[in-house]
Amino acid sequence: MSSSDANWVQMPFQSPGDNHLEMPSAPSLCKANFSVVRIPKGKNGYRLIYCPDPFAKEYLRQFIPGLEAVYQQQDQAKVNHGCVAGRSAITNAFEHIGRRFLLSLDLTDFFQSVNSKMLKGLVDDRILEDCLVDGAPQQGLPTSPLIANIAFLPIDKMIVDQLKRLSMDVTYTRYVDDLTFSFDIPGQEGKILSIVRPLIRNAGLKLNERKTKLQDSRNGRLIITGIGVDRWGLHPTRKSRRKLRAALHQGKISSARGLREWCLCKLPKGM
């Protein structure tokens, strides 16, 4: 779908293994209006956020159950913790407790870099016609996190398979566009990068090399998606606590509630 001509045609959605599941009824043709907001990112850049109107947002949300079914069926590696039910930044960090080294990688413009070619055979083309704007799952649309995650699942599996093939004792997790690897043997970061870089490049994605970071637990707690990790457990960072105090001071109740849960570092029941 083009952002300049956002005419969305409803198509029946079928989840894997269910030939009878259709989206709730809606007009066969609707005009989806949305605004684009620029949010500063770093010193010079900005991030585009696509804001659909209430009708368009509700229309897109009807795709989510089917996309979740596709995600669950295709997720063989089970390493992603971002925008997935029952997982969070907390569960992501938990996987790396007790490790000595931490290698953090970041994908450049992840959502905007995903395209229909990456999703071929994973998501029905008719669904993509409705959920992609200018050829990508743009940030701000309710379906975009799931679609971007689905697109990366084959890469997750290839990374895990190659690490196993080389008998490397490495823990790998992903939080949407943040890739994290932890290990205990010095020097393994070079081998990890030699595996990951070609896979990312061949998929048409890019690593933000400026954000590639290696941490050593001997220098203090490892920081993973804003959470401190050491051999004893998970801890909120000073930055997270400052954000919580600022939200409380400014009366931003919703933000404060989310930051409080983040600072508590509570794991889901059963973990």
pLDDT for 67: 96
Strand ranges of the sheet holding 233-236, from the earlier edge strand across to the other edge: 222-224, 227-230, 233-236
Question: pTM of the prediction?
Answer: 0.82
Residue range 207-223: average pLDDT? Answer: 95
- Looking at residue 3, its amino acid is S
Report whether 103 contacts 222 (CB < 8 A): no
Task: Spell out where the chain has E strands.
Answer: 7-9, 29-31, 34-41, 45-52, 101-106, 171-175, 178-183, 213-216, 222-224, 227-230, 233-236
- Give me the pLDDT at residue 15, please: 39
Same structural domain, 216 and 258 = no
Residue 1 lies in a domain: no
Residue 135 clears pLDDT 60, i.e. is over it: yes
Same structural domain, 205 and 259: no
Task: Kindly state the tokens that stand for 25.
Answer: 């009824």
187, 269: one domain = no
Domain identity same for 219 and 248: no
What's the pLDDT band for 271 if we cut at 50, 70, 90? low
Give residue 270's pLDDT.
Answer: 55
Domains in the chain, number: 2
What pLDDT shows up at residue 247? 55
Question: Could you report the per-residue pLDDT of 223-263, keeping only the tens digit for each?
Answer: 998 898 988 888 877 776 666 566 565 666 666 566 556 55
Residue 13: pLDDT band (50, 70, 90) is: very low
Residue 31 has pLDDT above 50, yes or no: no
- Whole-Å CA distances, 38 to 16, 45, 88, 203: 36, 10, 26, 27
82-121 exposure pattern, b = at least 16 Cβ within 10 A, e = fewer: bebeebbbbbbbbbbbebebbbbbbbebbbbbbbbebbee
From 7, 12, 72, 70, select the one nearest 34 (Cα to Cα): 7
107-131 pLDDT tens trace? 999 999 999 999 999 999 989 988 9
Q: Quick check: 43 pLDDT over 80? A: no
Answer yes or no: is 69 within a domain.
yes
197 and 252 part of one domain: no
In which domain, by residue range, is 190 found?
Answer: 7-236
* Residue 217, domain member (yes or no): yes
Average pLDDT, the chain: 83
Selected residue with higher pLDDT from 43 and 206: 206
The predicted pLDDT at position 267 comes to 60
Q: Which pLDDT score is estimated for 23?
A: 43
- Find the CATH number of the domain harbouring 165: 3.30.70.270
Q: Are residues 25 and 131 in the same domain?
A: yes
Cα separation, 153 vs 44, in Å, equals 31
pLDDT tens, position by position, 179-204: 999 999 999 999 999 999 999 999 99
- How many Cβ atoms from other residues are within 10 Å of residue 162's Cβ? 17
226 with 102, same domain: the answer is: yes
pLDDT given at position 8: 36
